[in-house]
Structures are given as structure tokens and as C-alpha cells.
Structure 1
């Protein structure tokens, strides 16, 4: 197994999964291109005109018409099959390897922080493809745990330092979570009564860390937004903002930012390390909560 995440240019990312499959390219090609076989392992029903430039439709369970459209961009049987998938691009390559072959999937997309969701999804799909060819059932996989392993493997848990409009700094963490907004909010707010979450009220412990002294809540819109000023010497020094939005479908997308004044490098470094740990603990807690 060899999975990587790289830059693809134009602000896009490329996820590459490589697997050896114990079947020759011709047999694997049929499972990649024939709708009857795709139905057993691909995440949607596929309708395709199998020619370069041919139209494609992807129909997900419970729907009647295509949720997404695509176009075949490359076709070299039984070696290369590539197509657009909405705004994304998928390229499947089969390379002979002894009595089997090596399958390489390259998924190019714009949402870098969705990479762990895409990787865990394709991991399960390709495992299902191999099981289909082997005449076996796919082994059960804990998708949430697999997702979090990919977050760490791809470096998606790290924060970024940006320059704020006032010349100070902004720490920014973005992370795809494995549970929906309401569940993530519950994990953050803990036993705090929702009626007490108001402007001017204390910040619940789940939304703060000891490295960043918290003032009172300045904005709250449960279960999506909570922000507050952080303090230095009892005075506001910047703003911390938590936001939960729609993610990849695997759960909510968390965006955490903290602004600070120019010259507070030590405080910024301490905050970056503290938020990294804090979000990691949140992610671990969500793994133990029902989906």
C-alpha cells in the first residue's frame, strides 16, 4: 500500500493510491468499466459512453437522476481509464506485475482538507474491488479511524500562520471531522446548558486552552459558531473563532482561527502547539461518540 498527497498546481491537490491486485489487467479492467461490476464496489451507479469524450453520469443510492456529470478524458484498454467526476478528475492505471497488476488511482481535487475523507473512501472502494475479483466479501473497516490515520499521515492536522489585515498574525486550523456539526458541538460544549451560551457568558472549556487566556463569549450561533477575545494582561489581544460548516459528507468541517498582535511570536508558537493538541483530543473524542 502506497498512498500519497501532493500539490497538483492551480491550488489543487492530487491523492495517489497504489495497490497490487492478484489478477491480470484485462480482468481488473472489466471491473473498472462495466456498470454491472462497478455496482459492487464503486460509490455510485455509473452511466457511461465508453469512448474519449463520452458523457458520464453518477447516480448515488436513493436518487433517480445523476448527482454529478463527467466526461471520459483518457481511454487505453486495458491500461488507462480517466474521467472527470464533477469538478474532480480520476485516473485509473493498470500496470502488469507478474500474474497480477498494480492499480494506481490518482484523484485530483480542490479541497485539500477533504483528502482524508477521499483517501479513506477510495481505500474501502479499492478493497471492495479486489474482494470482488477474489470472489470474497470485503472485510469491515472502521471508516472514522481510517480517516483519522490519513489526517496524520498527510499532515492535515497542522496549522498555518497567515498575516492579518492589521499587520499582526492569524493562526488557522482546518480539519475535516468524522461526526456531524451537532455531535462536534456537543463534544466542545460538554454539559454546558445551551441557554447559557450567550454573548458575555464564560467560554466552555472545550472551546479554549490554557495557553490562550479566554475572555467572555463575543459571538455564538450554536451549533456552528463561537468566538471570543483572548487576553494578555487582562486586556483583549486578539480573537479566537470556532466555526463548524458542511464538510465532505463524512462529518462537519472545523475551521479554528486565532488572531494576535505583531511581535507576539512566543505566544503565537505556544498557541499553535496548544491548538494542535486540543483539536487532536477533540478528534479522538469524536471517534468514541456515535456517528
Structure 2
């Protein structure tokens, strides 16, 4: 059974939350979120994504026409919690607490599968250049994560087949 729920914050537009059930074990979903060949497939352009999987390490997200994003890994707690900072309004800039949002993945065993929760916070504190609003705003990420959790689900379930 596939369920996809989302809950966004009220008027302040600071928090995006998505949850989805994935018919794959937690360890496989963890690999999809953190291993170079998998990240490049569901998020990037199909090429392996450089990932230095440790707090303070850099994961280079290739968002195609939208730019290259050196995200900074915040937390690595295999296979249950992974988070990074993403400066989506500033392609090419390393993410800092001042220019980025925090993306957090929580993986919970659910029968033989995984419940994946993605939360992105910090939009209210950002100054987004006008020319980047279409791809870096709360609204664009809210829509984007709805699609990306389905990409993660489909990719992880295909690996299981």
C-alpha cells in the first residue's frame, strides 16, 4: 500500500514535510539517499554524485539547468537519519547556516518496508534573489518534494525487484 502525505506549515511558509511508504527495507532506502550512484539517479542527472558522508562533508547535487549545489552534511545516523544544508538560491555556493535550508530525512521500519519522512526548514530566514524565486522558493520546493519523494520511492522499489 502506498500512502503519500504532506503537511506544510501555516502562513509563515518555513517548513515543508512529506512522508511516503516505500516497499523496500530501511538499509536500501538509506543507500538510495546517501550513495553516489543512487543520489545521482533520483535527484541528479544520472551521473554518480560525489558524497563525503560525514558531518561537515560535502554532497554535490547536480540539479541540471538549475545549477550545481555543494550541500553540507549535518547529521549521519545510519540507517535512520540523514540531513544536509542546501543553498538552493545560490548555485555553486557552499551551504551555510545563513544561505541555506536544512533538509532532514528520517527512515523508520514499517513492516518489510520503510516510512520515509522528509522535512525542509529555514525558508523564512532566507533572502532569495528575484531571479532564483522560481526554483528556490518555499512554493517551488513544496511542489518539488512532492515529486522527489515519489522518485525516491519508485527508484528504491525498482532496486528491490
Same fold (TM over 0.5): yes
2:152 maps to 129
Structure richer in strand, relative to its length:
1
Match of 2:63 among 60, 74, 87: 60
Question: Do residues 107 (structure 1) and 123 (structure 2) align?
Answer: no
Contact 1:79–1:94 (8 Å) recurs in 2: yes
Structure 2: how far apart are the matches of 1:41 and 1:116? 21
Residues 198-242 of structure 1 deviation map (CA, whole Å, 9 limit, x = unaligned)? xxxxxxxxxxxxxxxxxxxxxxxxxxxxxxxxxxxxxxxxxxxxx
Residues 163-213 of structure 1 deviation map (CA, whole Å, 9 limit, x = unaligned)? xxxxxxxxxxxxxxxxxxxxxxxxxxxxxxxxxxxxxxxxxxxxxxxxxxx
Structure 1: how far apart are the matches of 2:85 and 2:50? 13
In the superposition, the TM-score normalised over structure 2's length comes to 0.70
In the superposition, the TM-score normalised over structure 1's length comes to 0.41
From the CA coordinates, give the structure whose radius of gyration is larger: 1
Q: Where do residues 176-191 of structure 1 align in structure 2 (5 Å cutoff)?
A: none
Q: Report deviation, 1:33.
A: 0.7
Structure 1: gaps spanning 5 or more residues? 137-291
SS in 2 for 1:102: strand
Q: Report deviation, 1:62.
A: 5.7
Structure 2: gaps spanning 5 or more residues? 88-99, 127-132
Contact 2:13–2:138 (8 Å) recurs in 1: no
1:47 maps to 50
Q: Where do residues 190-229 of structure 1 align in structure 2 (5 Å cutoff)?
A: none
SS in 1 for 2:50: strand
1:5 maps to 8
Question: Do residues 18 (structure 1) and 34 (structure 2) align?
Answer: no
1:89 maps to 102
Structure 1: how far apart are the matches of 2:142 and 2:77? 25
1:98 maps to 111
2:130 maps to none
Question: Do residues 69 (structure 1) and 92 (structure 2) align?
Answer: no
Contact 1:95–1:102 (8 Å) recurs in 2: yes
Q: Report deviation, 1:120.
A: 2.0
1:183 maps to none
- TM-aligned CA distance change 1:56 to 1:39, over 3 Å: closer
How many residue pairs get matched?
131
Contact 2:43–2:62 (8 Å) recurs in 1: no
Q: Report deviation, 1:43.
A: 4.4
Contact 2:70–2:86 (8 Å) recurs in 1: yes
Which is bigger in relative contact order (C-alpha 8 A, separation at least 6)? Answer: 2
Q: Report deviation, 1:83.
A: 0.5
Structure 2: how far apart are the matches of 1:24 and 1:70? 26
Q: Report deviation, 1:123.
A: 1.7
Two-structure CA RMSD over aligned residues (Å)? 2.6
